Structure 1
């Protein structure tokens, strides 16, 4: 090797070593200054991804036997189950003949846990037909939800099929992937939907589905300008019943409490008059096409606000030693404590039915 080349190689080797040493020194100083090397900072190395769940709703914090739920994912799934139970579409039977065909338009489906859990809980794979269309505004959540759904379907197909399963279903109570369609679209404004989304949604009106449902799980109070467009489309175009968890304004709320709630909603990007009283909410459903005699609004506040506020306090205390701040969520927890104490807002399960749904 010529002398200049050898010299260049040596200089490059030394520079590389010095760069590595410098980076290690910076990392060491950073760790020792923060105390992470002998503290708890290495928690980041123990995280397993993807996360086992990414649920997001206020949760229903009481089990059927009356015991309190301690974990967020269980409470959130339990909220979905309460909604499906109120709608009457839980399936306790393994017989396909006793389970009607179901079509669901799910607005605000989150990161996919809700989609998979719904199909599992209602035993969708054993129904004669099942179709699910989900809409979300958030592109990141759509991507996460599609990945979770694909993973769940893939896991199902890897299991050996039971002798009673048909070739059109998987073995974990999940239908084939073609039964699910997820889109990014503003569910509050159907006139803004691209043709593909509109076509997919209106396909749910197929008379072969004896049960058709619009589901809004802890999201409808964000709908702008109001819930009316999606309620009207569901009732008059899809002939679909509605099941929702929503927040309603107390009839006894004072002027100042109402103002505080409206300002809070405005800060959280909700329409100014999104929180309606029970009477106003019922009238809106009737105006949009639901049968007045078949609208049920059940107050479940006892099982929602206190449990969530308590969980946020405990989670903040547990995570603080690891350098994880839940300050924003802790502040939200104070708001739910106020709701729990004053009931200026109430958490409700809503079920509305259209006349002769399924016979059109």
Structure 2
């Protein structure tokens, strides 16, 4: 009986395997994947070489247009660093640098920042990153670890990176480990201390003021950012439209400020308006480039059954912003008042 049961079990198992394989084959044939393009999934390389996500700066220094998001997004960071005087071609690497990066994404921004300012060549570089998203924090840590592992050990000795999941908009909510890490950035050994907010500050609730105040009053740090600024010429209905847009994007109702309001907010938080706050309109390099990329990406991926419907709708919004300039894409640099002021 035992031998008979074994044979029956074996045959039943074989039959089950055959049925499953038949169902899988039938599924492929019915969907057309076996003869179509569905096997693209087998050719995708993971982890992805980049996971950038910001609106992008879609013009190179020589004036030629950029076609892909990863290059445009990195270029946005590069232009912010140039405006702050941190890019390697704008300054020497003699200064030690400390950065609090709020909303650092999936790690590309962290690694690129260190590369663009030539952090290994500086006396010291200390970086603390905060993000609300746990999955992105984990992905960023993996990407950062891989980058540091590939780096010469002697070059990495003067680099310090710490990534945390936290609400950067609410410094009072930070735990002891985060407060200690952020406080370490105020060390006077760092002649360059900066708060970086790349394409995230308009999400901060209740407003940008708590993080600006913390950077100014507790870190004695300057601000470098990319943000969206409400046009002075926006009509009442246009202002309502962008406030509704912000509401859909889970932003505070009055998150979009005019340039004058934005400047005043920085002054109230401790930054010097005596020629030390720059709000530069870069809309020509942002909205149209992103909208065009989303259209191209949708056309390129549609044959593979990949839908970008949500992103193409967003692309239409950016096309509208490009035409109307209701919101301006802006690079913001604000410097602290000197101690004597």
When normalised by structure 1's length, the TM-score is 0.92
Matched residues in 2 for 1:349 and 1:23: separation? 57
Match for 1:12 among 9, 12, 15?
A: 9
Matched residues in 2 for 1:136 and 1:189: separation? 12
User: In the alignment, which residue of structure 2 is the partner of 1:345?
Assistant: 327
User: In the alignment, which residue of structure 1 is the partner of 2:101?
Assistant: 106
Check if 1:213 corresponds to 2:194. yes
Check if 1:298 corresponds to 2:280. yes
User: In the alignment, which residue of structure 2 is the partner of 1:149?
Assistant: 144
Cα 1:124/1:323, change in 2 over 3 Å: same
* Count of residue correspondences: 340
Matched residues in 2 for 1:304 and 1:215: separation? 19
Match for 2:215 among 217, 234, 253?
A: 234
> Post-superposition shift, 1:176?
5.5
**What are the superposed Cα offsets for residues 331-354 of structure 1, whole Å, 9 maximum, x if unpaired?**
100100010010001100000000
Matched residues in 1 for 2:12 and 2:312: separation? 49
User: In the alignment, which residue of structure 1 is the partner of 2:206?
Assistant: 225
| Secondary structure of the corresponding residue to residue 273 of structure 1 | coil
| Secondary structure of the corresponding residue to residue 281 of structure 1 | helix
Instruction: Determine if contact 2:201/2:227 at 8 Å carries over to the other structure.
Output: yes
**Pairing of 1:90-101 with structure 2 (within 5 A):** 90-92=87-89, 96=93, 99-101=94-96
User: In the alignment, which residue of structure 2 is the partner of 1:267?
Assistant: 248
| Secondary structure of the corresponding residue to residue 73 of structure 2 | helix
> Post-superposition shift, 1:95?
6.9
User: In the alignment, which residue of structure 2 is the partner of 1:23?
Assistant: 20
Check if 1:312 corresponds to 2:294. yes
> Post-superposition shift, 1:156?
1.4
Q: Which runs of 5+ in 1 are unaligned?
A: 162-166
Higher mean displacement: 63-72 or 24-33: 24-33
Match for 1:69 among 49, 66, 69?
A: 66
CA RMSD in angstroms, aligned pairs only: 1.6
- Give every structure 1 segment of 4 or more consecutive aligned residues whose post-TM-superposition deviation is greater than 3 Å: 92-96
Instruction: Determine if contact 1:95/1:126 at 8 Å carries over to the other structure.
Output: no
| Secondary structure of the corresponding residue to residue 39 of structure 2 | helix
**Pairing of 1:138-287 with structure 2 (within 5 A):** 138-157=133-152, 167=154, 169-170=155-156, 179-287=160-268
> Post-superposition shift, 1:29?
1.4
Instruction: Determine if contact 2:59/2:65 at 8 Å carries over to the other structure.
Output: yes
Matched residues in 1 for 2:249 and 2:56: separation? 19
Instruction: Determine if contact 1:135/1:186 at 8 Å carries over to the other structure.
Output: yes
